[in-house]
Amino acid sequence: MTNLLKFLTESGKLKTIPRSGWVLRGVKNPESIAEHTFRVALMAWTLGRQKHNFNIEKLIKIALVHDLCEVYAGDITPYDTILPKDTKKRKEMLKTWPRFTEAQKKKLSESKHKKEKQGLNKLIKNLPAGLKKEMEMLWLDYEKGLSREGRFFKQIDRAENLLQSLEYWQIDKSLPQKSWWTQANELFDDKLLLELVGNMDKEFHKTHRPKH
Amino acid sequence: MEIKTFYLTKGKLKELKKEYEELLVSEKNRAGQDEAPKIFESDNLNPDFISFKENVDFLRNRIDELKNIFDNCVLIKNPPKDKKDIIDLGAKVKIDIDGQKDEFVLVGTLEANPFLGKISNESPVGMALIGKKVGDEVIIPSPVKTVYKIKSIKYEIS
């Protein structure tokens, strides 16, 4: 029980760690990683039930597990290694989705995976063997898209991010939107999620459309 | 299990078949419990992360998943010579995106990973690129416009 309690108190730190993407963009009072996890779990459940024969329990568990590693690994973004110190240049860079060479993409992806794997291992190492194994497998499923649920969730995770960017944009119209939409157009290929994204566009841009 | 066509490169199909064989052996030997399958060893994964066989449900689900993929997969092949200048599945495309350079490979949903430049043929960008040639410009209908200019097209399907 002591080890479980330790796991729970450590995981609870996600309630106070802000999501890096919003911090970089200067969003006031940005959501925490745990707040993102809360809604992405709701999305996994409510959208997953519209998919034929999906394992909803597994989907929700993947949602709960997917960012646990960030307790120790932090919230890594693709901008981390390239952002200049100059504030103006930073702002400019954050307007667009960053582009890398094939080798850079591979290196960044491997480095992120390694850090996150270590973070997860550290967090769950003292949990009962069965629970530890289940968490490892769920995280791996998300990372590698080993099942329909894992692949679907990968996109739900980004859809929640897009929704949050729209909500912040509603409050502050100076928040650049282009990087989110560029990413969305290159990433989403699930029909249900493409429909959801289309609805987000309609709902949030009834009166104003983003300029950048 | 969903009925869907999975477009796969030869390399990916080989990798999945290897994984499948190992999972079957693992399932068969589960009672023995002395040999962990070297699955998911591809890309950036370290196999020592898993002792997979302990999770029986996951093992069974993955075997079923792979069976479904094999039953419904189509191999991505090099196009005929007269169509190599047109973007289709398997094409490696150099692109200028609003002044930034990038490189995409058009793949099926199973291999898609935009963070590694692998774009699904079912994504809005993937769908828009298919059928285009060098010099063409693609604009994705989106709240904020992004222009993709096609600089080169290559096929290196393995």
Q: What is the pLDDT of residues A131-169, one digit of tens each?
A: 999 999 999 999 999 999 999 999 999 999 999 999 999
Question: Do B132 and B90 share a domain, yes or no?
Answer: yes
Is pLDDT of A51 > 70? yes
Task: Tell whether the model's pLDDT for residue B53 goes beyond 90.
Answer: no
Domain count, chain B: 2
pLDDT in tens, B70-117: 999 999 999 999 999 999 999 999 999 988 999 999 999 999 999 999
pLDDT band at B39 (very low <50, low <70, confident <90, very high): low
Say what the pLDDT of residue A26 is.
Answer: 92
Is residue B20 located within the same domain as residue B40?
yes
- The answer to whether residue B1 sits within a structural domain is no
Tell me, yes or no, whether B96 and B149 share the same domain: yes
Domain annotation covers residue B55: yes
Return the H-helix or E-strand segment holding B103: strand B100-107
| B58 lies within 8 A of chain A by CB | yes
Last residue of one domain, picked from the residues B75, B105, B126 = B75
> B155: closest CA among B101, B99, B82?
B82
CATH label of the domain that carries residue B133? 3.10.50.30
Share of chain B above pLDDT 90, in %: 68
The single-letter code of the amino acid at A129 is A
Asked if B120 contacts B7 with a C-beta cutoff of 8 angstroms, the reply is no
What is the token pair recorded at B126? 């993937």
Please give the single-letter amino acid code of residue A212.
H
Provide the pLDDT for residue B26: 84
Give which of A77, A107, A166, A182 to mutate to test B binding, by max B Cβ within 10 Å: A182
All domains in chain A, ordered by first residue = 2-204 (1.10.3210.10)
Q: Using the predicted structure, report yes or no on whether residue B42 has a pLDDT greater than 70.
A: no
| Rounded Cα gap, residues A75 and B138, in angstroms | 33
pTM of the model: 0.90
Q: What residues of chain A lie within 8 A of the CB of B121, using their CB?
A: 189
Same domain, B88 and B143: yes
Does position B41 have pLDDT exceeding 50, yes or no? no
Which amino acid belongs to residue A211? K
Same domain? For B70 and B89 the reply is no
Best to test chain B binding among A69, A93, A144, A185 (most B CBs inside 10 Å): A185
CB B73 within 8 A of CB B15: no
B156 close contact with A: CB closer than 8 A: no
- Domain of B93 in residue numbering reads as 81-155
B90: left (phi over 0), alpha (psi -120 to 50) or beta: left
Q: Which pLDDT band holds residue A40 (cuts at 50, 70, 90)?
A: very high
Residue B17 sits in the same domain as residue B67: yes
Which pLDDT tens digit goes with each residue over A162-171? Answer: 999 999 999 9
In a domain, B107, yes or no: yes
**Nearest beta carbon to residue B143 from set A109, A148, A177:** A177
What average pLDDT does range B37-48 have in this prediction? 47
Inter-residue contact A154 to A145 (CB < 8 Å): yes
* Cβ–Cβ below 8 Å for B49 and A183: no
Tokens 């092949």, residue?
Answer: B77
| Mean pLDDT across chain A | 95
Alpha-carbon Rg for chain A, nearest whole angstrom, is 18
Pull the structure tokens for residue A169. Answer: 């944009």
Q: Please say if the pLDDT value at position B158 is more than 80.
A: no
CB contact under 8 A, B58 and A137: yes
Contact (Cβ atoms closer than 8 angstroms) between residue B110 and residue B8: yes
Residues B100 and B130 in one domain: yes
